[in-house]
Amino acid sequence: MPLSLSHNAPTLLLRRQAFEQAALTRESIDSWLNLTPEEFRVEGGVIAVGPIYDEDALGTLVAALEEKGLVYFDDMIEMSGNLPDWLGVWVGESKK
């Protein structure tokens, strides 16, 4: 089932395989963002973190994930959330 994205704040999307290979956990992400259950969602091979309202925290998180070996665009990507509220956006794993 696709994951919906916020229209008013960024969401960080991660490949679940890369997340697990880096030995990351939900708790490690919580240490940066203090997430609610609705702000850390997993569906198939995709993890959605957000919406993230603190831009500095988002930058710090991306940098920390890169230090763990994740590569921006290949393993994770930020979806801006700069969308009109009449537009719904959903993401899911590509089945290539």
- Two tokens, residue 96: 């290539």
CB atoms within 10 A of CB 73: 7
Mean pLDDT of the chain: 91
Boundaries of domain holding 59: 22-81
Please give the tally of structural domains in the chain: 1
CB distance 5 to 87 below 8 Å = no
Give per-residue pLDDT as tens, 51-91.
999 989 899 999 999 999 999 999 999 998 888 989 888 89
User: Is it the case that residue 1 has pLDDT exceeding 80?
Assistant: no
pLDDT in the model for residue 86:
92
Reported pTM: 0.90
Higher-scoring residue by pLDDT: 71, 29: 71
